[in-house]
Structure 1
Amino acid sequence: MVYSIYFNSQTFSLIILPVLIFTSRIIDVTFGTLRIIFISRGEKFIAPVFGFFEILIWLLAIAQVMTNLTNVTYYLAYAGGFAMGTFVGIYLEEKLAMGILIVRIITKKEANELVENLKSKGYGVTSFDGQGARGPVKLIFTTIKRKDVDKVVEIIKRFNPKAFYSIEEVRSASEGIFPVKKPGFIPASLHRYRHTRPGK
């Protein structure tokens, strides 16, 4: 009896339920973003788990909206939760920074100092001479972990601010040279992103 009165009260229908819908949408959209990320990286076991909880939470949220079609507050909570969930999903994706990137650098300036600095930081570097539209250029390729992209870009800008560079995501890589990190706990699902120096 007490629960029935509480769930039918204005406080529940105008405040608590919209907050629950808003929160549910944040969670399910965030899960959806993470699911897409794991799908793009070939994580066939983790992605379905996120998909299961994503659709389950979405059904709970949409059920409340569909049973209260005349309440504008629920519409706003639903839409606001979607927008916030998109933001949270992108934020988490940036913080997780999973995956591997390839950085291509093209510069007219002598690049020995840039190459040596990248090597000294533990990055594997491949460089060779090329011919651009306006003359000889130096091409530099390096494969890095996504979480290191800001560090590498900072090195490029410090040694050659006018260098052209492009960054692309790598679906998979068999070998690579990366800065050595102290050993620590790494979830099993992320072991595929660990790469060691050749021969180790």
Structure 2
Amino acid sequence: MKELALILILQLCYVPMLALRTISMVKKMTLLTSVFGIIECLIYVFGLSLVLTGNQTFWGLIVYALGYGLGLIVGIHVEDRLAIGYTSAIVNIRNKNEELIKFLRDTGFGVTIFEGEGRESTRYRLDILTKRNRESELLAIIEKFEPSAFVIFYEPKHFKGGYILSLMKRKRI
């Protein structure tokens, strides 16, 4: 029974580590990817050896698979909490809400404004680039000032220059 609990615990550690390694690899974080990979490999080999050498092969396999599935859920929550990287929000609003724009800028968000023609009227588009861990804060601010705003989030892969880059150099964000 102890071995089954250990297998489950190992899977709950292994799979989130796999998720973090994959995410850091996609984001080209070389050293972090390597560290996660080493830890992941050690957990994987140890856990698999328990399953393959134990007396409870059938139950060990079931617990191993169950742990993997639960580990995926844990991995998603861990990554969501860490929110590594940046996000780009495109916010479409009906009126040029100066109060919203000023508040966003005063709160540290870089905002670029575009004016365009919608189907029924003039629209304003706000382009906002921020760290992913501030995404929910940004959404709450937008909801407070412009509850009917249309918002889309994208995850940029590369960016060069601009407000965020100058902030990163000054503050090391």
**TM-score of the superposed pair, with normalisation by structure 1:** 0.75
2:106 maps to 1:120? yes
Give, in angstroms, the shift of residue 99 of structure 1.
1.0
Using the TM superposition, name which of 73-82 and 141-150 deviates more.
73-82
1:159 is matched with: 145
Question: Do the aligned residues in 2 keep the contact of 1:174 with 1:195 (CA within 8 Å)?
Answer: no
Q: Helix, strand or coil: the match of 1:170?
A: coil
Give, in angstroms, the shift of residue 55 of structure 1.
2.5
Question: Do the aligned residues in 2 keep the contact of 1:106 with 1:139 (CA within 8 Å)?
Answer: yes
Give, in angstroms, the shift of residue 49 of structure 1.
2.4
Q: Which one of 66, 69, 75 corresponds to residue 83 of structure 1?
A: 69
**TM-score of the superposed pair, with normalisation by structure 2:** 0.86
Question: Do the aligned residues in 2 keep the contact of 1:101 with 1:169 (CA within 8 Å)?
Answer: yes
Q: Which amino acid is the alignment partner of residue 135 of structure 1? A: S
2:138 maps to 1:146? no
Q: Helix, strand or coil: the match of 2:96?
A: coil
- The 2-side partners of 1:91 and 1:103 are apart by 22
For this pair of structures, how many residues does the alignment match? Answer: 169
Give, in angstroms, the shift of residue 176 of structure 1.
4.9
Give, in angstroms, the shift of residue 80 of structure 1.
2.2
Q: Helix, strand or coil: the match of 2:168?
A: coil
Q: Which one of 81, 90, 96 corresponds to residue 82 of structure 2?
A: 96
Give, in angstroms, the shift of residue 70 of structure 1.
5.7
Flag structure 2 segments of 5+ consecutive residues without an equivalent: none
Q: Helix, strand or coil: the match of 2:30?
A: coil
- Structure ranking higher in helix proportion: 2
Identity %: 27
1:106 is matched with: 92
- The 1-side partners of 2:129 and 2:11 are apart by 37
Using the TM superposition, name which of 106-115 and 20-29 deviates more.
106-115
Question: Do the aligned residues in 2 keep the contact of 1:102 with 1:143 (CA within 8 Å)?
Answer: yes
2:2 maps to 1:19? no
- The 2-side partners of 1:44 and 1:16 are apart by 36
Over the aligned positions, Cα root-mean-square deviation in angstroms equals 2.2
Give, in angstroms, the shift of residue 28 of structure 1.
1.3
Give, in angstroms, the shift of residue 145 of structure 1.
1.2
Q: Which amino acid is the alignment partner of residue 124 of structure 2? A: K
Flag structure 1 segments of 5+ consecutive residues without an equivalent: 1-14, 179-191
Bigger CA radius of gyration:
1
